[in-house]
A and B are shown apart, each in its own frame.
Chain A
Amino acid sequence: MSATQTDPTTADPTPAAGPRLKRPTRSSDLLVTALAVVVALVIGGVLIALADQRTRSAAGYFFQWPFDTFTYGAEAAWHGYVALFQGAIFNPRTAANGTLVGYLGPLSETLTNATPLILGGLSVGLAFRAGLFNIGGQGQIVLGAIFGGYVGFAWDLPPVLHLLVAVLAAALGGALWGGLVGWLKARTGAHEVITTIMLNYVATALLAYLLSVKWFQAPPFGQAISRPVDKSAQLPPLLGSTMRVHAGLILALLAAWAVWWLLERSVLGFRLKAVGANQFASRTAGMDVGRSIIVVMVVAGALAGLAGACQAVGTNTQITQDIDAGIGFDAITVALLGRAKPGGIVWAGLLFGALHAGGVQLQSVTGTPIDLVQVIQSLIVLFIAAPAVVRAIFRIKASGAGVGQALAKGWNG
């Protein structure tokens, strides 16, 4: 609980001088983000304590002997976060085996979980920057997984080529699903929030159908699961077969770099951002707003499709009904936490990947439901979306609005 050590005055530099665009200062932004994480973790600790049987029974005699409740509660929270750390970063217990997987296993899990989150976050983040709210990550990931997975198990190609084609097919699947949304918006004005959500349903229903047809389903057709992807189409493991982290991570980092380049260095990126900032001004300035919207949704869909590839031919080798694993929606929180900037999204993806990897250990060792991790994630985003709350708790002076503004734009566009 030493979060208050950060002196508010150092964290609140005077806003940048000059008649430039009014923007929240970078360091204040970072501080609010960090403090949001801290506050969410503190509340998470309280929830872990509440989920602890011993603490709850101690609370039964709170008025006779209140210290038990606090010591047990603090112990439970401490054990919980130790488990979270062990699952995500380093576990001395498994390291004692002396094997490589003992040392690096937890980190590998963190990176494995982070990979599709980064790609999905990039998808959502890129759309944010162009003023679009892409809630269709789920459908785009599912389509990517279907396309990539199908190429992976049905086509017979030489090793390296097979993987490349599978990954490209996944990107294509996502791009089709995203591009459809962009096209509908550009041509008919259909709101992307509505269309993406609806297409999510279509994608999951399509997958449910495919999992019941013989050319997609795995023999002996006893379960709703797809055929396994050929070895030649699987993203190769980075740290040997004992650990799950795979080449999708490299793909994700390359994609982050590519999105950064697109947004910061290319003409196309400038146009996308201009459309995101003000559609009407962009149109007046002679930009083709409709085309920009289609392009951004195609690229965003392709990025989500790559996340689907990581799911179907990387982390897993077979597709089931929940192949998207909630990543489509977690990606929104990742993009928000990363403030829709590629670098930020990478860090946010790593943080959420670590939380999820740790959550597995947390659940196993302390019996705390893994859903708690999701609560912590949601709290982080809640506090980031409402920076005024964090500022009020820590007495930081306001210096501009939070990421919520970018969000609101998605609804008005």
Chain B
Amino acid sequence: MRLSTKIMAGLGVLTLAATAAGCGKPASSGDSGGSGSSSSKSISACMVLDTGGVDDHSFNQASWAGLQAASKANSSIKSSYVSSNSQNDYTPNLTTETNKGCDTVIAVGGLMSDAVKKVAKANPKQHYAEIDSSSSGSNVYGLQYNTAQGGFLGGYLAAGMSKTGTVATYGGLNIPPVTIYMDGFWEGVQYYNKQKNKSVKVLGWDETKPKAGTFAQSFTDQNKGKAITQAFEQQGADVVFPVAGGTGLGSGAAAEASGGKLMLIWVDTDGCESASQYCKYFLSSVTKGLTKSTQEYAEAAAKGSFPSGNYVGTLKNGGTGLAPYHDWESKIPSDLQSEIKQVASGIEDGSITITSQSQPTS
């Protein structure tokens, strides 16, 4: 009995602390009318995130943003997510979400493709989608992104903008989802050299020597990113392409310290939106269309037609590409801008082939 009074007192104090100032109003008893969707049939789209949390500044966050955007655009889409603490959670999370009665379960991350395959096989009537993996069954929609294409354009842009004739790239970890960007970047520079008869050097990565690149071994360590970038700068690089999530912010700091001599290309999202403090150093960004494609999937599902098979994000369908030039719009020569457009259409129509082994097949 004494305990329960203590608990009640504790609860009171905690809620007080949590709300800081109790001055709102009770909700009207009408309960604000259930979001007003009424007649149209609502669908629930449930997302199973990979490890790292929903605010990982990377694929979890971008995918969830896509689902949120879909719910915002179409109020009949009810979205929710669960996160995974380790690979042990993949199967139970997928199973629990299936049992909960979700209309579609969206798995984020290629590492859980085996779990998705098994759960999808056990629940043939349930719709699934998986990001960063090819479809593993008739009820699984696979979403993949050929970011080597976007990286190729980034490499061409970097080579065209470099005054020193040296550009650089580094990764977070030596894993294919990272090195595919670096492959594309490297190939883009080689293509530029061949076209222009130049010899722009790439530091930090060589597609033909995949064991020897520069990697920060972290997606969060900004100091490491700064140190790597400054080392590149000392070796003569003036354009750097970090493919390392939050570690890349260290490159922004290095560019700031260089007093504007160093230019950067951001990765995954438009850097002028996701890391806007360094916008003035970003020539552009190589994007991966997680948000867009997730939103499109959810909206198609809401219309009753669950896509099946595979989606591969390319330059053509906007699943990868270069973000706007923003501050550099006027500073990038118009010749170079139109060349990049030509290269892009060359990749789209297949006259330019990208050889990276990391490209998604199918």
Residues of A in contact with B (beta carbons under 8 Å apart): 1, 3-4, 42, 46, 49-50, 55-66, 68-70, 73, 87, 91, 93-94, 105, 109, 113, 208, 211-212, 220-225, 228, 242, 244, 311, 315-318, 320, 322-326, 357, 360-361, 363-365, 367, 369-371, 374, 393-394
Contacts and interface: CB of A to CB of B under 8 A. Distances in A.
A62 B27 contact: no
A1 B3 contact: yes
Contacts of B92: 109, 244, 357, 360
B93 to A, nearest CB: 6
Contact of A61 (B26, B132, B133, B357): B26
25 contacts: A4-B3, A57-B27, A59-B16, A59-B18, A60-B24, A61-B26, A62-B19, A66-B12, A113-B88, A208-B173, A222-B110, A223-B111, A223-B113, A224-B175, A311-B88, A315-B88, A326-B85, A360-B92, A360-B93, A360-B96, A363-B82, A364-B82, A364-B97, A393-B3, A394-B3
Closest 4 CB pairs of A and B: A60-B24, A325-B86, A62-B22, A224-B175
B82 A50 contact: no
A236 to B, nearest CB: 16
Nearest to B91: A244
A323 B11 contact: no
Contacts of A208: 173, 217
Scoring A60, A221, A357 by chain B CB atoms within 10 A of each residue's CB, the highest score goes to: A60
B111 A60 contact: no
B3 A320 contact: no
Given A62-B16, A326-B86, 4 more contacts: A4-B3, A64-B26, A73-B11, A93-B99
B1 A4 contact: yes
- Helix, strand, loop or mixed for chain B's interface? helix
B11 A70 contact: yes
A222 B147 CA distance: 13
B83 A46 contact: no
B50 to A, nearest CB: 10
B360 interface: yes
A325 B8 CA distance: 36
Interface in B1-27: 1-4, 6-8, 10-12, 14-16, 18-19, 22-27
A326 B51 CA distance: 12
A48 B112 CA distance: 28
Contacts of B18: 50, 56, 59
